[in-house]
Chain A
């Protein structure tokens, strides 16, 4: 179903700041189409971001929008959601924002199972500051602060969020826009903490430094190197090296934080009345 998304955009601020060929627009489109299919009233949607390329997204979106401090989007969003549980709070964040400086907030938001939808734009690089390696940069890849190849291993954020207690975990790439949008839709509908990793291309910094070719080449690379979770489960882990495993990894039904807190309020009021 084609979903018009222009109504969700503050088109007066276009053109956007993202580089030509950047995949962030594909992810944003996937998010907006998910919101459109769910027909969420604009006044009831709140978009929260941190700092970085991905975190500039809310400025272009006609919802209640907050562009916060680096890494802290989930903590701001937690305050919003707890104070107004009826709002659909969606966090748009990058890999530096969510996996490095904001990693602890991600772990705890997942553990609390607060009803937040988090979409992590993973371009494996710090784009806003010109291409330093991030916790999502694979070992051996080049970055402006990894001129001899990255020493560190990259995170599997989906495993992390699942282990921390999130209720929904999925991953797709910009080569799988429709799938990605479906995952975001499922994430929004999940009570509790939901996490979608969106693997995206940064042709300007990651692509250029790692000789990945054009933006189209990078998307094509995602397509060829992605493997569905079900198929991946049948393979030897050694054969998955360098592959991007995509799919829905987990759906849980642990109680959502604000619903549990509502029970606390009931108990507290009873205690006060005694």
Chain B
């Protein structure tokens, strides 16, 4: 139905919202494999993508899905897959390939309780580190983490834009609760949505160096089949794209892959906070736990406790400076998370001992309630 400012007001599930946003972001290829709690994304895209001339395919496994997504992206199609923990593990080798060959793509991981088959399909937030370090070797990666259905919309659009801008796989980490929850979302008109597409070469094919980066560290990417014949390999390669074992070139490639993310860090770091100005206790959280954190600091304020909170919508690259600044101003940081303690390690790295860092883990397949965080705030 038409809503405020001409926007389309919809009641959408997080997974549905992700699929709708993907199409508005320009996604025209999806390859996936059924896995709860992400399957609604594939189901909706199997219906919607061909309506806009896009392609959907259900592959024979998770590995093939990731491979097909990379293949489609090489032709210029904005491409995406969606999965959950076990499938995310299987995709990792090819995620590394996409990262190393700089092929833009979006990977949605609607997390469930692991390890292994785990607790299908209760929520958990235990894939933070897999999102960062799931594939072997050093590699750049970006991971975004919504806590509401409207944020799913916003961050799905951003995930595609960042993938294209930086030529990097972007992981959209979702909580099962967010994936399956229904909330009101105001869907903007296509013309209101900022769309970013990968940089294109401005030289003729004979002068094209597929891995020669501009000042932003991102090389222009010619789609396959447009006259720019180039080579893609998971071997170390130089600016020509062909394999090299020369130590200076190997070193230069790895450092550029890191620096292209670092130099864009400010643009791709998204956070939200409340009551930070005078807080002496700050809760740092992400995803569904950030919603409980928001509620918990409001409840604490009612009790006269000077509590504040920060929601990290960008998990990777981790906002070390931002969290470090907070650590320098407060007495303690509380890190509630639905895992055995993954986010807290990064918070401690950022805090560098400047404040007390206290964790709160819940790993029974249930979300963390605001009262639990209030109790932790009062306890310390």
Partners in one complex: yes
Residues A64 and B230 in contact, CB atoms below 8 Å apart: yes
Q: List residues of chain A with CB within 8 A of the CB of B68.
A: 75-76, 78-79, 82
Q: List residues of chain A with CB within 8 A of the CB of B233.
A: 59, 66-67
How distant is the Cα of A80 from the Cα of B74 in the complex, in angstroms? 7
Q: In the complex, identify which listed stretch (B55-63, B263-271, B300-308) lies at the interface while the others stay far away.
A: B55-63
**B-contacting residues, A27-55, CB 8 Å:** 42-44, 46, 48
Closest to B96 in A: A69
> Which of B70, B225, B234 is close to A87, meaning CB atoms less than 8 Å apart?
B225
Residues A75 and B235 in contact, CB atoms below 8 Å apart: no
Report the contact-size class of chain A (Cβ under 8 Å from the partner): 35 or more
**A-contacting residues, B299-320, CB 8 Å:** none
**Per-position binary interface string of chain B over residues 217-246, scored 1 when its CB falls under 8 Å from any chain A CB and 0 otherwise:** 000000011110111111100000011000
Residues A265 and B50 in contact, CB atoms below 8 Å apart: yes
Chain B residues within 8 Å of chain A by Cβ, number: 44
How distant is the Cα of A123 from the Cα of B70 in the complex, in angstroms? 29
Q: Measured between C-beta atoms, what is the minimum distance from B204 to chain A in Å?
A: 13
Interface of B is mostly: mixed
Residues B72 and A79 in contact, CB atoms below 8 Å apart: yes
Residues B50 and A65 in contact, CB atoms below 8 Å apart: no
Q: List residues of chain B with CB within 8 A of the CB of A44.
A: 225
Q: Measured between C-beta atoms, what is the minimum distance from A100 to chain B in Å?
A: 14
Q: Measured between C-beta atoms, what is the minimum distance from B82 to chain A in Å?
A: 15
How distant is the Cα of A66 from the Cα of B235 in the complex, in angstroms? 11
**B-contacting residues, A216-274, CB 8 Å:** 261, 264-265, 267-269, 271-272
Residues A79 and B29 in contact, CB atoms below 8 Å apart: yes
A77 at the interface (CB under 8 A from B): yes
How distant is the Cα of A78 from the Cα of B29 in the complex, in angstroms? 12
Q: Measured between C-beta atoms, what is the minimum distance from B303 to chain A in Å?
A: 53
Q: Measured between C-beta atoms, what is the minimum distance from A191 to chain B in Å?
A: 18
Interface centre among B57, B76, B225 (most CB of A within 10 A): B225
Residues B242 and A13 in contact, CB atoms below 8 Å apart: yes
Knowing A108-B59, A268-B47, A268-B51 are in contact, say whether A68-B67 is a contact too (CB < 8 A): yes
Q: List residues of chain B with CB within 8 A of the CB of A14.
A: none
B97 at the interface (CB under 8 A from A): yes
**A-contacting residues, B177-233, CB 8 Å:** 224-227, 229-233
How distant is the Cα of A77 from the Cα of B285 in the complex, in angstroms? 40
**Per-position binary interface string of chain B over residues 48-92, scored 1 when its CB falls under 8 Å from any chain A CB and 0 otherwise:** 011101010101110111011111111111010000000000000
Q: List residues of chain B with CB within 8 A of the CB of A63.
A: 229
How distant is the Cα of A8 from the Cα of B69 in the complex, in angstroms? 28
How distant is the Cα of A9 from the Cα of B60 in the complex, in angstroms? 34
Q: List residues of chain B with CB within 8 A of the CB of A162.
A: none
Residues B50 and A86 in contact, CB atoms below 8 Å apart: no
A96 at the interface (CB under 8 A from B): no
Q: Measured between C-beta atoms, what is the minimum distance from B72 to chain A in Å?
A: 4
Q: List residues of chain B with CB within 8 A of the CB of A104.
A: 60-61, 64
**Per-position binary interface string of chain B over residues 28-57, scored 1 when its CB falls under 8 Å from any chain A CB and 0 otherwise:** 110100000000000000010111010101
> Which of A13, A68, A69, A84 is close to B75, meaning CB atoms less than 8 Å apart?
A84
B161 at the interface (CB under 8 A from A): no
B147 at the interface (CB under 8 A from A): no
Residues A64 and B224 in contact, CB atoms below 8 Å apart: yes
B372 at the interface (CB under 8 A from A): no
Residues B232 and A65 in contact, CB atoms below 8 Å apart: yes
**Per-position binary interface string of chain B over residues 255-288, scored 1 when its CB falls under 8 Å from any chain A CB and 0 otherwise:** 0000000000000000000000000000000000
Q: List residues of chain B with CB within 8 A of the CB of A79.
A: 29, 31, 57, 67-74, 79
How distant is the Cα of A256 from the Cα of B93 in the complex, in angstroms? 30
Residues A43 and B225 in contact, CB atoms below 8 Å apart: yes
Q: List residues of chain B with CB within 8 A of the CB of A76.
A: 67-68, 70-71
Q: List residues of chain A with CB within 8 A of the CB of B225.
A: 43-44, 46, 64, 84, 86-87
How distant is the Cα of A43 from the Cα of B208 in the complex, in angstroms? 14
A58 at the interface (CB under 8 A from B): yes
Closest to A114 in B: B57
Q: Measured between C-beta atoms, what is the minimum distance from B160 to chain A in Å?
A: 16
How distant is the Cα of A81 from the Cα of B71 in the complex, in angstroms? 8
How distant is the Cα of A65 from the Cα of B227 in the complex, in angstroms? 13
A24 at the interface (CB under 8 A from B): no
**Per-position binary interface string of chain A over residues 141-183, scored 1 when its CB falls under 8 Å from any chain B CB and 0 otherwise:** 0000000000000000000000000000000000000000000
Q: List residues of chain A with CB within 8 A of the CB of B51.
A: 268-269, 271-272
> Which of A69, A87, A264, A269 is close to B67, meaning CB atoms less than 8 Å apart?
A69
> Which of B57, B63, B74, B232 is close to A67, meaning CB atoms less than 8 Å apart?
B232
Q: List residues of chain B with CB within 8 A of the CB of A67.
A: 231-235
Residues B74 and A66 in contact, CB atoms below 8 Å apart: yes
Closest to A80 in B: B71
Closest to A107 in B: B60
Q: Measured between C-beta atoms, what is the minimum distance from A164 to chain B in Å?
A: 11
Q: Measured between C-beta atoms, what is the minimum distance from B309 to chain A in Å?
A: 41
Interface centre among A77, A105, A261 (most CB of B within 10 A): A105
B residues with a Cβ closer than 8 A to A are 28-29, 31, 47, 49-51, 53, 55, 57, 59-61, 63-65, 67-77, 79, 93-94, 97, 224-227, 229-235, 242-243
Name 6 A/B residue pairs within 8 A (Cβ), A-sorted: A58-B231, A67-B235, A69-B93, A78-B64, A87-B224, A108-B59
